[in-house]
Structure 1
Amino acid sequence: MLEFMSHPAEHVVAIKIGGVVTASELQQAIDAIEAAKRNHPRISLLAELDDMRWMTLTALLKDIGYGLTQLGDLKRYHRAAVITDKEWIKHIAHLEDRLFKAMEIRTFPGRDYAAAMAWVGELPKGAHENPEEDGYHGA
């Protein structure tokens, strides 16, 4: 299950993931990320992951494939907040933070939900909510 959460900052794509994630659900998340990238020079991601059990094989392959396509476009990502109390998810997020230096990745325990929402909503230094003010006119 993958559902979108609201966030007051327009450059943030926020999702809650639980149970089993299917390829069609993952495609909806990818579509939301791509739409945000068309409207903002840099985007941030928020994922609440505590109840996720697994992904279908097609979802896993889609996730890996999309991730690989993004390696050359990491400068478009600002921050990723991962809300979880699961140690194994925290370890994966910390590894990704070390691997993908262009994007800052931080984990937050479930009790710090508000702090995660605030942190991920902060704009990059010198950026404005309106991408036109940054000289950005879409991809």
Structure 2
Amino acid sequence: MLECLPPPAPHVVAMKLGGTISASELQKAIDAIETAKRDHDRISMVAEIDGLRWMTLTALLKDVGYGLTQIGEFKHYHRAAVITDQEWIKHIAHLEEKLFKAIEIKTFPPTERQAAMDWVSQLPNGQRETPEEDGYHGA
């Protein structure tokens, strides 16, 4: 199961993952990421992971294929928060942080969900959302 969640900020893509992920569910997440990249210079992601077991073979191939297309696109990503109590997921997140140095990746236990949302909502170097998104409509 993979479902998109309401994001804590306009530049954030939020999702919840658990059980088995299908290719069609993964495609919805990819579409949300691509939409966010079109609308924002830098995006962040948050993944709440609970009871994740595996992906279908088709989903795994789609995930690897999409990941390969993103190699030159890291400039679009700022942060990724992973909310989980699954140790193997934490280890993968820490490995990815070392491999993909352009993206800050941090894990949070489920009890610190709000801290994860606050952290991932921060924009790089004090940037702001566009005036329309932050409620400012000019003077």
Q: TM-score, normalised by structure 1?
A: 0.92
Q: C-alpha separation between the residues in 1 aligned to 2:66 and 2:126?
A: 29
Say whether the 8 Å CA contact 1:40–1:131 is kept in structure 2.
no
Greater relative contact order, per chain length (Cα 8 Å cut-off, separation 6+) = 1
Q: How does 1:32-71 map to 2 (within 5 A)?
A: 32-71=32-71
Runs of 4 or more, structure 1, over 3 Å off, are none
Q: C-alpha separation between the residues in 2 aligned to 1:13 and 1:3?
A: 11
Q: C-alpha separation between the residues in 1 aligned to 2:130 and 2:110?
A: 30
Relative distance call for 1:19 and 1:31 in structure 2 (3 A) is same
Amino acid at match of 1:54: W
Unaligned runs of 5+ in 1: 133-139
CA deviations on 1:46-87 (whole Å, 9 max, x unpaired) are 001122111000000100110111010001000000000011
Q: C-alpha separation between the residues in 2 aligned to 1:76 and 1:126?
A: 16
Amino acid at match of 1:105: I
Q: C-alpha separation between the residues in 1 aligned to 2:32 and 2:51?
A: 21
Unaligned runs of 5+ in 2: 133-139
CA deviations on 1:82-112 (whole Å, 9 max, x unpaired) are 0000110000000000000110000001110
What is the SS of the residue equivalent to 2:70?
helix
Alpha-carbon RMSD:
1.3
**How many pairs were matched up?**
132
Partner of 1:111: 111
Partner of 1:135: none
Q: TM-score, normalised by structure 2?
A: 0.92
Partner of 1:90: 90
Partner of 1:123: 123
Q: Shift in Å at residue 131 of structure 1?
A: 8.3
Q: C-alpha separation between the residues in 2 aligned to 1:96 and 1:131?
A: 33
Relative distance call for 1:118 and 1:126 in structure 2 (3 A) is closer
Amino acid at match of 2:45: L
What is the SS of the residue equivalent to 1:125?
helix
Q: How does 1:1-12 map to 2 (within 5 A)?
A: 1-12=1-12
